[in-house]
Amino acid sequence: MPNILIHTKINAPALRRNLVSRKRLLTLLLDGIKQGHKLTFISAPAGFGKTTLVSEWITSGEVPAAWIALDESDDNTSRFLTYLIAALQTLITGVGEGVLAALQSSQPSSAKDLLTTLLNELSSTEDDFILVLDDYQAIDSKDVDELLTFLVEHMPPSMHLVITTREDLRLPLARLRAQNQLTEIRAAELRFTENEAADFLNQVMGLNLSAENIAALTPALQSWKGCYKMAATSRINHLTVIAKKRQETNKNGDLIRRFRDARKRGMFLCKDGKERTFQEWLETLPPELAAKILKIAGHPE
């Protein structure tokens, strides 16, 4: 049982500047709540923008939200309940105090009983609210899985659960799906559309690519990680190969060729048409993005 809670775990992460807007996904999320879905399930590998999407959504403030960033140390029921209450208290003052006290006692009741008490308290809330469980794959405990299943089955109608995970979930998703209680977003939805890829390359990365070149690059931009890698180092060469393969349909391969030629000489072709060294190029980017690129460039997979 933790006596000291880590407060950053119950705060949604700050949003980066220079976000590519993901309106189509935000609409999907909000529609789910409007239709009264109990659970929103977002599952995709690391780096697909799950956390960013959910934080962008809840930052818009349409529906009040509590947040828990889960990690491996949360995979026992008492710790899970403690963070659950701490997160809910950011929305509902004093909720679950009795349960917290019971958790500290020498012979606490079963986790299910304690959760039932908490759910009874929550049943009087009328306004919709969201609870986000970010990175659920960190939990490797049947007991917590069962507690979560119980939570989903007995939540008051005002409560909506959002779970992000890199894996599939050991929850009765099929039943929720059949009852029309589930919004699902998976890797296929999180992948860039061509417009989002264009926004990323031209606005976030500060490049100035033509529609044709963007179309050639889009298939390689399957995740944000892919984008950063592309920006970071030799991945650009790899991308130019992909782009080249598509050049039959891509009459304007000029920019791609210039990119590749510049990379051969260890240089980066920038928005203004000038070639820069990696360091000079980094200096033209927003500091946060430059730091990220450096990190990835330093730790190639």
Element (H, E) at 134: strand 129-134
Binding status of residue 57 toward ligand ADP by CB under 6 A: no
Smallest gap from Cβ 20 to ligand ADP, in A, equals 4
263 contacts: CB under 8 Å, gap ≥ 6: 234, 236, 237, 240
Q: Which of 9, 11, 28, 52 binds ligand ADP (CB under 6 A)?
A: 52
Tell me how far apart the alpha carbons of residues 9 and 66 are, in angstroms, rounded to a whole number.
Answer: 11
Q: Which of the ranges 12-20, 82-90, 245-253, 268-276 carries the binding residues for ligand ADP, by CB under 6 A?
A: 12-20
**Is residue 291 close enough to count as binding ligand ADP by CB under 6 A?**
no
- Angle ∠(97,99,103) on CA atoms, nearest 5: 115
Q: Does 9 bind ligand ADP (CB under 6 A)?
A: no
Per-residue CA distances from 169 to 44, 64, 136, 270 (Å)? 11, 25, 8, 43
165 binds, among Mg ion, ligand ADP, none (CB under 5 to 8 A by kind): none
Residue owning tokens 């879905």: 37
165 contacts Mg ion (rule: CB under 5 A): no
The piece of 19-27, 116-124, 246-254, 264-272 that touches ligand ADP (CB under 6 A) is 19-27
Task: Say if residues 218 and 212 touch (Cβ distance below 8 Å).
Answer: no
C-beta atoms surrounding 214 within 10 Å: 20
Considering the rule CB under 6 A, would residue 20 count as an interface residue with ligand ADP?
yes
Residue of 205, 201, 253, 260 whose CA lies nearest to 234: 260
Residue 158 interaction partner, one of Mg ion, ligand ADP, none, beta carbon < 5-8 Å per kind: none
The answer to whether 170 contacts ligand ADP (rule: CB under 6 A) is no
Which residue sits closest to ligand ADP, CB atoms considered? 224
Q: Which of 51, 165, 183, 213 binds ligand ADP (CB under 6 A)?
A: 51
229 is a contact residue toward ligand ADP (CB under 6 A): no
Q: Contact with ligand ADP (CB under 6 A): which of 5, 19, 215, 297?
A: 19
Q: Which is nearer to ligand ADP, 82 or 218 (CB)?
A: 218
When CB distances are held under 5 to 8 angstroms depending on the partner's kind, the choice from Mg ion, ligand ADP, none that residue 47 binds is ligand ADP
- Selection from Mg ion, ligand ADP, none that 183 binds (CB < 5 to 8 A by kind) is none
When binding is defined by CB under 5 A, the residue of 51, 82, 213, 240 that contacts Mg ion is 51
At residue 243, what is the residue type? A
In the complex, the smallest distance separating the C-beta of residue 42 from ligand ADP, rounded to whole angstroms, is 8
Q: Which residues pair with 184 in a beta bridge?
A: 41
292 binds ligand ADP (CB under 6 A): yes
Contact (Cβ atoms closer than 8 angstroms) between residue 218 and residue 192: yes
What does 229 interact with, of ligand ADP, Mg ion, none (CB < 5 to 8 A by kind)?
none
**CA-based Rg of the chain, rounded to a whole angstrom?**
23
Binding status of residue 55 toward Mg ion by CB under 5 A: no
Q: What is the DSSP string of 251-284?
A: S--HHHHHHHHHHHTT-EE-TTS-EE-HHHHHHT
DSSP per-residue letters across 72-109:
GGG-SHHHHHHHHHHHHHTTSTTTTHHHHHHHHSSS--
Contact footprint for ligand ADP (CB under 6 A): 16, 19-20, 22, 44, 46-52, 204, 224, 292
